[in-house]
């Protein structure tokens, strides 16, 4: 079985590498010839734990993985073609931009010469996969193909494990043959008793958006509970722990913080609400989740300013720039939104992140980038912990205190205990406590 993955972004490359690990011949295709050249040198375009090793293993050793800038060449003898191109939010609208999906669909149609499955793995609104089918049928004389919806559920920072040991695999099909082929494709996961959810194409498309939007709702909910906890002197961590013990609720995604970011949740929440609007369905809950998350970073930044009366003569250290740990992705990073807000107020920002500073420098050149957390904390009037990287969980506060102007910590991820930090002579502010 030969697989073609169209798009070598985060989803496409992880998918291609992991299918190679399953033993499938896999070709990853991208029109960006520079990226293809770098991939052939085993250079991963993003940071993801374990990717470099698997990339090198299957391109250089097993030869199961290959890269190409030509979709027509890659499609020769291909059994399954995955569409994994980006679906970002439109600039002036909340709906997903599907232009790349339509373009790839047309190119696939022009190169089909035998039966294959065309699978949407990109996150797409309901109705997209059926539209792909219509586009292909309108162009090609080859009628012998099927379309499938197979959404991804990969978390940046743990994507390989998520692919190899997923909670479930969702397959949306409209024929018994396509379902049979997809089940055979995922047989390595079936053998470890991974649930395979077979359903309609439309249901499959909604499952992905509904899952991400529900998780975003949990985050938005606990963040607002945190605000109430601060107002009345309660502790949101204890609240979340007690809530999470209830099996109906669960403990995951109940960690209060500065809001959700990244490449998925913000755009998916908006796109899901946009789909509902098109069909005249009330999505007031999801709309409220989006609105509350949009204002949260600036709200927290203003709170930081007000607490210590920071002004244009102040300097603050920001530890963590990526939207979450174990990734260099800064898209919709709440840390950087807060940093940018403070910087616009004239406050100088010293920042440090283990892997994402290169990406950040291109977008936020006005920040002062440092080689370590300790350098960032020198001569500052406060420290913001914006991302919960492991190396920030055991900082040497005795060392920091010797060089800091004002020992104040704003722990936006609640990785420290209030009493322990205050014992070391620091003023401590967490979220919801």
- The mean per-residue pLDDT over the stretch 104-132 comes to 95
In whole angstroms, give the CA distance from residue 19 to residue 146: 20
Count Cβ atoms below 10 Å from residue 280 Cβ, excluding itself. 6
Please choose, from the candidates 206, 198, 24, the residue with its C-alpha nearest in 3D space to the C-alpha of residue 127. 206
Average pLDDT of the chain?
Answer: 96
Gap between the terminal Cα atoms of the chain: 54
Distance of alpha carbon 272 from alpha carbon 275, whole angstroms: 5
Alpha-carbon span 208 to 152, nearest angstrom: 8
Question: How far from the centroid of its chain's Cα atoms is residue 35's Cα?
Answer: 21
User: How far, in Å, are 11, 165, 238, 249, 265 from residue 162 at the CA level?
Assistant: 12, 5, 28, 22, 17
Q: What is the pLDDT of residue 144?
A: 85
Domains of the chain: 2-199 (3.40.50.720), 235-433 (3.40.50.720)
Structure tokens at 262: 């990244």
**Confidence category of residue 94, pLDDT binned at 50, 70, 90:** confident
- pTM, two decimal places: 0.93
State the residue for tokens 């009330």.
282
pLDDT level of residue 426 (50, 70, 90 thresholds): very high
Distance CA 316, CA 326 (A): 24
Whether the per-residue pLDDT at 360 is higher than 80: the answer is yes
Residues tagged active-site: 264
Q: Work out the pLDDT band at 92, boundaries 50, 70, 90.
A: low
Give percent above pLDDT 90 in the chain: 96
Q: Find the mean pLDDT for residues 51-65.
A: 96
Mean pLDDT on 322-326: 96
The answer for residues whose C-beta is within 8 angstroms of residue 195's C-beta and 6 or more apart is 167, 168, 169
Rounded Cα gap, residues 290 and 201, in angstroms: 26
């Amino acid at each position: 079985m030969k697989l073609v993955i169209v798009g070598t972004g985060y989803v496409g490359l992880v998918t291609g590498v992991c299918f190679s690990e399953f033993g499938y011949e896999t070709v990853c295709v991208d029109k960006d010839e520079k990226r293809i050249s770098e991939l052939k040198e085993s250079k991963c375009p993003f940071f993801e734990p374990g990717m470099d090793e698997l990339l090198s293993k299957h391109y250089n050793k097993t030869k199961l993985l290959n890269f190409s800038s030509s979709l027509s060449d890659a499609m020769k003898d291909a059994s399954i073609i995955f569409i994994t191109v980006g679906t970002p939010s439109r600039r002036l609208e909340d709906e997903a931009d599907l232009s790349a999906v339509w373009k790839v669909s047309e190119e696939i149609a022009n190169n089909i010469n035998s039966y294959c499955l065309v699978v949407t793995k990109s996150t797409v609104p309901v109705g997209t996969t059926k539209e792909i089918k219509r586009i292909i049928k309108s162009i090609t004389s080859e009628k012998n193909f099927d379309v499938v919806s197979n959404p991804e559920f990969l978390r940046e920072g743990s994507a390989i494990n998520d692919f190899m040991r997923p909670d479930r695999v969702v397959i949306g099909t409209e024929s018994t043959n396509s379902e049979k082929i997809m089940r055979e494709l995922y047989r390595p996961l079936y053998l470890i008793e991974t649930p395979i959810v077979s359903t309609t194409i439309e249901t499959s498309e909604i499952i992905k958006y509904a899952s991400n939007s529900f998780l975003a709702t949990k985050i938005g909910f606990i963040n607002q509970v945190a605000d109430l906890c601060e107002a009345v002197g309660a502790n949101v961590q204890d609240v979340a722990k007690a809530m999470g013990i209830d099996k109906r609720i669960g403990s995951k995604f109940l960690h209060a913080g500065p809001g959700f970011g990244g490449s998925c949740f913000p755009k998916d929440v908006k796109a899901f609400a946009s789909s509902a609007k098109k069909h005249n369905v009330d999505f007031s809950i999801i709309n409220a989740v989006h609105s509350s998350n949009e204002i949260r970073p600036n709200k927290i930044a203003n709170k930081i300013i007000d607490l210590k009366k920071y002004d244009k003569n102040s300097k603050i250290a920001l530890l963590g720039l990526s939207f979450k740990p174990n990734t260099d992705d800064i898209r919709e990073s709440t840390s950087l939104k807060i940093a940018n807000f403070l910087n616009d107020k004239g406050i100088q920002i010293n920042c440090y992140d283990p892997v994402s500073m290169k990406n950040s420098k291109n977008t936020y050149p006005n920040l002062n980038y440092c080689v370590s957390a300790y350098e960032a904390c020198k001569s500052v009037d406060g420290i913001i912990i914006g991302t919960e990287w492991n190396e920030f969980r055991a900082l040497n506060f005795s060392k920091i205190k010797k060089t800091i102007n004002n020992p104040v910590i704003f722990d936006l991820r609640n990785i420290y205990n209030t009493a322990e930090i205050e014992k070391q002579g620091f003023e401590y502010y967490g979220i919801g406590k």
